[in-house]
Amino acid sequence: MSKPPFVIEAHFRLQEWVAQEKGYFAAEGLDYVFQEKVKSSDGKVHDAQGRTSGAYQTFEAGRTSDVNCACHWTVNVAAANGHGKLWADIYSVAPAGIFVPADSPIKGPEDLAGVPISVGYQSGSHYSTLQGLEQFLPRDQINLSYAEGMLFKRLDNLIEGRSQAASLFSGPYYLAEQLGFRKILDSTFMIASMVTGDPSPEDLGKFYRALKRAQRDIDLRPDLYTHYYRNEFPERHHAIMDTRRWGPGERIVFEPYTEESFAQSREWIADHGIFEEGKMGAGSYLDAVIQLA
């Protein structure tokens, strides 16, 4: 029986789109299908709200592509709970920040004391906002709001004046910047990769070699590829987007995500009580990481 094709899903970054356009997956001999589920024309996948919808919950429910990405905190816990295997040969770094309207009285991080800041529950914006603001505010003055939905919904609420402050990354980060919203604090964070399907080691190698070629292309000429953000934005935003002004976004780093990084991140999560007791998972780094040999 022939094996099923490798399932590639765009992860709200440029690399998969560039590799697809330039035929890098095919050049590696990868038998694959390419899917995009973020946009879904209206972006409703990102409108879910509250504590029942976040990056971790998508791993609990099961993702459909063979390799998935999320903030490294969530990937750590999901892998330790057996919801996939951490691919530890790489990580990536995503520019992120807390934005407020141009005319907001909030001028610095200290002014965010008690102000609801829209983030995605148990998602990169959740952890990174805490991590950034703790330099300026005690924890009891950091007011995270999960009620305004995931990434596109947070962007819409900010644009339409329903949100005082929101944590944004990737394309929404650049659109907010383009529209004149002010970044109060940088909250750039690390992203990790999770193998959630059952691909062969050979196919994983082909996939990541193709992404490495794409990353070099983006590093050399990001201006040629920022138009791909449009592929994952709801159509309602297209008329106001000028991706020529945007940056390259998430950058894949082809270095190991180490056991030390895994342990330090889990200690930080536990210290902040982000997951209920007993929900952190019992898996060690060696349990969580995919073993190819």
Is the CB of residue 76 less than 8 Å from the CB of residue 266?
A: yes
Residues whose CB falls within 8 Å of the CB of residue 236, separated by 6 or more in sequence, listed in order: 42, 43
Is the CB of residue 125 less than 8 Å from the CB of residue 96?
A: yes
**What mean pLDDT comes out for the span 101-109?**
98
SS (H, E, C) the chain: CCCCCEEEECCCCCHHHHHHHCCHHHHCCCCEEEECCCCCCCCHHHCCCCCCCEHHHHHHHCCCCCEEEEEHHHHHHHHHCCCCEEEEEEEEEECEEEEECCCCCCCCHHHHCCCEEECCECCHHHHHHHHHHCCCCCHHHCEEECCCCCHHHHHHHHHCCCCCCEEEEHHHHHHHHHCCCEEEEECCEEEEEEECCCCCHHHHHHHHHHHHHHHHHHHHCHHHCHHHHHHHCCHHHHHHCCHHHCCCCCEEECCCCCHHHHHHHHHHHHHHCCCCCCCCCCCCHHHHECCCC
What are the boundaries of each domain within the chain?
6-92+191-288, 96-189
Is the pLDDT confidence value at 20 over 80? yes
Q: What is the pLDDT of residues 174-232, one digit of tens each?
A: 999 999 999 999 999 999 999 987 899 999 999 999 999 999 999 999 999 999 999 99
The C-alpha atoms of residue 164 and residue 158 are separated, in whole angstroms, by 7
Q: What is the pLDDT of residues 268-284, one digit of tens each?
A: 999 999 998 888 988 89
Token pair belonging to 63: 């993702």
Give percent above pLDDT 90 in the chain.
79
Q: Do domains 6-92+191-288 and 96-189 have the same CATH topology?
A: yes
Is the pLDDT confidence value at 16 over 70? yes
The C-alpha atoms of residue 191 and residue 73 are separated, in whole angstroms, by 8
Classify domain 6-92+191-288 at the CATH topology level: D-Maltodextrin-Binding Protein; domain 2 (3.40.190)
Is the pLDDT confidence value at 45 over 60? no
| CATH hierarchy code of domain 96-189 | 3.40.190.10
In order of 70, 150, 220, the CA distances from 81 in angstroms are 15, 23, 39
